[in-house]
Amino acid sequence: MTSDDPQTCGRRYFQCPNYALEVYGNMCDYIEWVDTENPVFDRRSGRWMSPSESDDMYLARKTI
């Protein structure tokens, strides 16, 4: 899923790694942003992975 936020639009998606059904029903307990433009090679799995980062981490990296 792509973000509609102009600061993140077109370059990342989010996933819901944790559901709190007793509190939120089907809503996410928290959202994890995943960087899809800068994959990192994971030696253990032998695949290119998209690392997750918080909104604050992304915005700090973007302003550099």
Question: Would the pTM of this model clear 0.75, i.e. be above it?
Answer: no
pLDDT digits (tens, 9 = 90+) for 25-52: 666 655 666 666 777 787 887 877 777 7
Beta strands at 52-53 and 28-35: parallel, antiparallel or unpaired:
antiparallel
Of the ranges 3-7, 13-17, 30-34, 57-61, the best mean pLDDT one: 57-61
Q: In Å, how far from its chain's centre is CA 1?
A: 10
Q: Which residues of 29-59 are buried (b: 16+ CB within 10 A; e: fewer)?
A: eeeebebeeeeeeeeeeeeeeeeebeeeebe
